[in-house]
Chain A
Amino acid sequence: MKEFDTIAAAATAMSSSGIGIIRISGDEAYSVMQKIFRPHNPEKKMNEQPAYTVHYGTIADGEEILDEVLVMLMKAPHSYTAEDTVEIDCHGGRLVMQRILDLVLRNGARPAQPGEFTKRAFLNGRIDLSQAEAVMDLIQSRNKLALRSSVSQLQGSVKQEIEKLRSAILYETAYLEAALDDPEHISLDGYSEKLLKKVQDICSETEHLVNSSENGRLLREGIKTVILGKPNAGKSSLLNVLLGEERAIVTEIEGTTRDVLEEQLQLGDLSLSLLDTAGIRSTEDVVEQIGVERARKQAEDADLILYVADSSRPLDESDEEILELLKGKNALVLLNKSDLNPVLTFEMMQSKTEHKILMISAKEEQGIHELEEEIRSMFFHGEIDFNDEVLITNMRHKAALLEAKKSLEMVMESIQNGMPEDFYTIDLTDAYLALGRIVGEEMGEDLINEIFGKFCMGK
């Protein structure tokens, strides 16, 4: 039974809770831990520690300390998965957890598939199927929004959409096969051009579904919102106002926020992940420079950027840089400190950007309600509608769609390269199978994976 490799994943949601847990399971769990964990007492030999003990220390990536953690050791078969297991209790927050997880993965574990810990518990005879399913139901119900959409998609819309694509592919495959077997009665003259068009259609519909997974992700993970602005423009105050608690350190000294702070904010049904970032300015402080770089990077993948501009100060190089960064992105410009005498006016800003501009005062909590309304309308109106839109929220589905799309592109490539017709069917079949795995009509690589993979990421 010990044929499994070592896997790792976050066992708690990757968001800003007080504590996050990274779980490593498998034969190599201890050795992975030893490579990255530095016990507080450097004399302590981690491989000699008894099971069910907890150890204090740090997680280090070479010289860099990532976090202070507690490490908990469990020995097979007395763990959740019935394998050697190490759990790292670190500070909550996406970034910290992500970095520790990356480090774990670089040191010999591979990312756990959705539901894989539970699957192993099941396969190792620790729990039976109904228990496994119960666990996964629980994990799934943790996120109500995603649950709502995943229920609706399994009930019909996605399935219908996928079946439509599948039957279109099947029709073409069948036609090709029939023509190969009975060339007298079924002609392939001019068929390639027709097929090319059809495959293009199927491919773009597949792509549309892939794109809808973006909306699905917004539902599941929240709108990733980054707050940008030069130092001391009021980003952290804004964050605090939105969250209603003192979280980021707000001081008068420029560059106080050196890292990225992550918070969850509920706006009605929608959850926003807010990332406050270090102010953007050229700096020679190494630590802060890393923060600045990170801020840029975060802004690159953000769903929404809130640019906080200090209306009491004129636009400078840093602002210009930020404005450059905003181009082509979803963004709102917030003219902060509207309670003070503005040096930078609405009109001046308007000439610099195409994005919507709002006047706020984070300190006086003015304009905050308007901001919330604006975000809501940007992401809620028409764009995300459970009833009409077919949404892909399951990452496994997205992966299968991407696979199908790739195969369809290869069919087009074969046609364009003038390959003989019998070559088309190889990739058509792959596309058909990939789509079939979404709706459970095809045996995937391993059915047990399928069954367990249907559930959300978690234990």
Chain B
Amino acid sequence: MNTVYRETCQAIVIGAGHAGCEAALACARLGIETIMFTVSVDSIALMPCNPNIGGTSKGHLVREIDALGGEMGKNIDKTFIQSKMLNVSKGPAVHSLRAQADKAEYSRSMRRVLENTEHLSIVQAEAAEILTEEKNGKQIVTGVRTVSGAVYEAKAVILCTGTYLRARCIYGDVSSYTGPNGLQAANYLTDSLKKLGISMLRFKTGTPARIDKRSIDFSKMEEQFGDEKIVPFSFTTDPESVQIPQVSCWLTYTSEKTHEIIRKNLDRSPLYSGMIEGTGPRYCPSIEDKVVRFADKNRHQVFIEPEGLYTNEMYVGGMSSSLPEDVQHAMYSSVAGLEHVRIVRNAYAIEYDCIDARQLYPSLEFKNIHGLFSGGQFNGSSGYEEAAAQGLMAGINAARMIMEKEPLILDRSQAYIGVLIDDLVTKENREPYRMMTSRSEYRLLLRQDNADLRLTKIGYDIGLISEERYQQLLEKEKQIQAEIKRVEKVYVGTSEEVQRFLEEHGSTPLHSGISLEELIRRPELNYEMLSSVDPDRPELMRGVAEQVNIHIKYDGYIRRQQKQVEQFQKLENKKLPENLDYDEVPSLRIEARQKLKEIKPVSVGQASRISGVSPADISVLLVWLEQRKGKKD
């Protein structure tokens, strides 16, 4: 009797958010027959919170995703309505691209890409159970059963459930068991995961209100324009194609009155009344958190951002909240320019099930279930970009597992993606993890401008970057090297023209000839500016000039950071065998021994980042490893 619908594919992706999309595309593009489940096909690549992609350190992630062959950068290039390079007054390491998205277009455009990708099918269904079997004492994934009972067999399953698992939206004393935007929550899968021995956490995040543009008095706000010269996210996007008319965002501030309203009503916040059990993100705090934590500030920034070209809804950035409806109305109306605000959708907090990602290998595969991978908010992160980055890596590694290849693991010196995943799978994470520049030790090397130089080759080797794109990268590398050499050798004389140029730019005049390189090094000058005294400058590909400038200007710093990386890699390259029995290592402290057994670090470097493992423990481990190595030889 075959009363159940059965189907076989190779990989299953559960969820169609930003992680799910990248995971499914990566698998399918690598030739793996892939099925993607979503509770609603209409909500593919939904942006349920902020209407932008990128920003500090997140922009880096998008660039890296792009260099590895992911989709997010291309998709935002097609659907953005304003773009800005942030932090340009600071060093190149913290320059970050951020683009305002037309949310509906972003979602539609991504859906179009997915629907037209070979080897990929989208199925609207809710996964209820992960199917496994035991082989040689190890759990192995065999497929997924849906709520309706249908069975889909696969060798790999990638969990990208975002904020949907047993989701609950809350504001004031109102709560409803739905996912974001009132979408259906996924209520069955958690039990199945628990049965498989996966331990679950409950996190919380929140979103501010959406308001009616027509009710806003923009005259009381500062207009925030996009950049005059727009830089695309994707290294493949033609910069000319993105020079489009842009819409503005607006900056305003909360007032003392706002803070007073919030303080008076704190006891009605579900957070403070204990109604919310999940832990919220410190780095993306609600307005009530900010008022409590920065009690001495008499105002906070509020950004009013369009949700798209199709709608009058505006996002109130910086004022997420879970206060009751009446308080929300009072609170938003106390912001300059929002005196007569009409709320379209009120702010709410959302609670959801996720995991402690230390149950994962750096490949994002579960340690105790072969073939089960996960990415995105399910892993305890927050943010579209963090989700997409993990989704991409989980997808790549699921495909590589199926193809019986070594997993792709990026380390902390290679990419923000490496930092993100290493932090998630190594460190205890008590709140939604947000990417930040400060989390990256080697950020001068991991810039958004050189993501292609860092990662395109890897993307090419995996099979997600085309031959043509790879050849272009090689050409770019060649041009950078050649141009650096050239400016070292080109000498500028003390002609009147040169002296005038220097004077105009507030630079000391020359006593004798000097190389272009030395002029570029001067803080007040740069490569671009010097074109007028450099008549033989060759025609260069996009991005080459920027690299030449950065390389020359920050050479000393770059080299010192590279030295730091060399140190880092020494411990990173000392691999720890998976079956290492830490009980055999004498003199480890008990806490360290437990942590090491639990997390099973892949390298001494990873071990050294586990909280509870001290430098002394690492010394003991190293000595023991050396001794063992000595004995073997």
Q: Which residues of A contact B (CB under 8 A)?
A: 1, 122-125, 128-129, 177-178, 180-182, 184-185, 410, 417-423, 426-427, 429-430, 433, 440-443, 445-448, 450-451
Partner of A129, one of B90, B564, B616, B627: B627
Chain B neighbourhood of A422, CB < 8 A: 90-91, 93-94, 437, 443-444
The 3 closest A-B pairs by CB, nearest first: A177-B438, A420-B91, A125-B630
Name 5 A/B residue pairs within 8 A (Cβ), A-sorted. A123-B630, A124-B630, A128-B627, A433-B564, A447-B623
Q: Are A420 and B567 interface neighbours, CB within 8 A?
A: no
Chain A neighbourhood of B91, CB < 8 A: 419-423
Tell which of B199-207, B294-302, B388-396 binds the partner: B294-302
Q: How large is the interface on B (under 10, 10 to 19, 20 to 34, 35 or more residues)?
A: 35 or more
CB distance from A81 to the nearest CB of B (A): 13
Most buried by B among A419, A423, A426, A429: A426
Q: Are A451 and B623 interface neighbours, CB within 8 A?
A: yes
What is the interface of chain A mostly: helix, strand, loop, or mixed? helix
Q: Is B273 an interface residue (CB 8 A)?
A: no
In the bound complex, what is the Cα–Cα distance between A431 and B252 (angstroms)? 41
CB distance from B305 to the nearest CB of A (A): 15
CB distance from A75 to the nearest CB of B (A): 18
Q: Are B570 and A180 interface neighbours, CB within 8 A?
A: no
In the bound complex, what is the Cα–Cα distance between A159 and B89 (angstroms)? 40
Chain B neighbourhood of A182, CB < 8 A: 283
CB distance from B85 to the nearest CB of A (A): 14
Q: Which residues of B contact A (CB under 8 A)?
A: 56-57, 89-91, 93-94, 283, 294, 297, 300-301, 436-438, 441, 443-444, 523, 554, 557, 560-561, 564, 567, 570-571, 608, 615-616, 618-619, 622-623, 626-627, 630-631, 633
In the bound complex, what is the Cα–Cα distance between A177 and B90 (angstroms)? 13
Chain A neighbourhood of B301, CB < 8 A: 184
In the bound complex, what is the Cα–Cα distance between A124 and B301 (angstroms)? 63
Across the two chains, which residue of chain A brings its CB closest to B619?
Answer: A447
Given contacts A418-B523, A422-B94, is CB(A450)–CB(B619) below 8 Å? yes
Partner of B633, one of A125, A128, A441, A451: A125
Most buried by B among A178, A423, A451: A423
CB distance from A453 to the nearest CB of B (A): 12
Chain A neighbourhood of B93, CB < 8 A: 422
Chain A neighbourhood of B619, CB < 8 A: 440, 447, 450-451
Partner of B444, one of A129, A426, A441, A443: A426
Partner of A423, one of B557, B626, B627, B633: B557
Chain A neighbourhood of B443, CB < 8 A: 422
Q: Are B630 and A426 interface neighbours, CB within 8 A?
A: no
Given contacts A129-B623, A419-B91, A427-B560, is CB(A1)–CB(B630) below 8 Å? yes
Q: Are B618 and A447 interface neighbours, CB within 8 A?
A: yes
Across the two chains, which residue of chain A brings its CB closest to B624?
Answer: A129
Most buried by A among B297, B567, B616: B567
Q: Are A426 and B560 interface neighbours, CB within 8 A?
A: yes
In the bound complex, what is the Cα–Cα distance between A426 and B561 (angstroms)? 7
In the bound complex, what is the Cα–Cα distance between A178 and B300 (angstroms)? 17
Chain B neighbourhood of A128, CB < 8 A: 627
Chain A neighbourhood of B441, CB < 8 A: 429
CB distance from B220 to the nearest CB of A (A): 19
Given contacts A422-B91, A422-B94, is CB(A181)–CB(B623) below 8 Å? no
Q: Are A445 and B623 interface neighbours, CB within 8 A?
A: no
Chain B neighbourhood of A124, CB < 8 A: 630
Given contacts A422-B93, A430-B560, is CB(A181)–CB(B437) below 8 Å? yes
Partner of B622, one of A185, A419, A430, A447: A447
Chain A neighbourhood of B567, CB < 8 A: 433, 445
CB distance from A274 to the nearest CB of B (A): 41
In the bound complex, what is the Cα–Cα distance between A450 and B567 (angstroms)? 14
In the bound complex, what is the Cα–Cα distance between A451 and B615 (angstroms)? 12
Across the two chains, which residue of chain B brings its CB closest to A188?
Answer: B90
In the bound complex, what is the Cα–Cα distance between A128 and B571 (angstroms)? 23
Q: Are A125 and B631 interface neighbours, CB within 8 A?
A: yes
Chain B neighbourhood of A430, CB < 8 A: 560, 564
**Inter-chain pairs besides A185-B294, A423-B91, 13 sampled, C-beta below 8 Å:** A1-B630, A177-B437, A181-B283, A185-B297, A419-B523, A426-B557, A426-B561, A426-B564, A430-B564, A433-B567, A441-B615, A447-B623, A451-B623
Chain A neighbourhood of B300, CB < 8 A: 184
CB distance from B609 to the nearest CB of A (A): 11
CB distance from B611 to the nearest CB of A (A): 14
Chain B neighbourhood of A443, CB < 8 A: 571, 608, 615, 618
CB distance from B187 to the nearest CB of A (A): 36
Chain B neighbourhood of A433, CB < 8 A: 564, 567
Q: Are A181 and B630 interface neighbours, CB within 8 A?
A: no
Chain B neighbourhood of A420, CB < 8 A: 89-91, 94
Given contacts A180-B94, A420-B90, is CB(A448)–CB(B297) below 8 Å? no
Across the two chains, which residue of chain A brings its CB closest to B297?
Answer: A185
Across the two chains, which residue of chain B brings its CB closest to A427?
Answer: B560
Most buried by B among A122, A181, A445, A451: A181
Across the two chains, which residue of chain A brings its CB closest to B435?
Answer: A181
Most buried by B among A433, A447, A450: A447
Partner of A180, one of B89, B438, B444: B438
Chain B neighbourhood of A419, CB < 8 A: 91, 523
Given contacts A420-B90, A422-B93, A423-B91, is CB(A448)–CB(B622) below 8 Å? yes
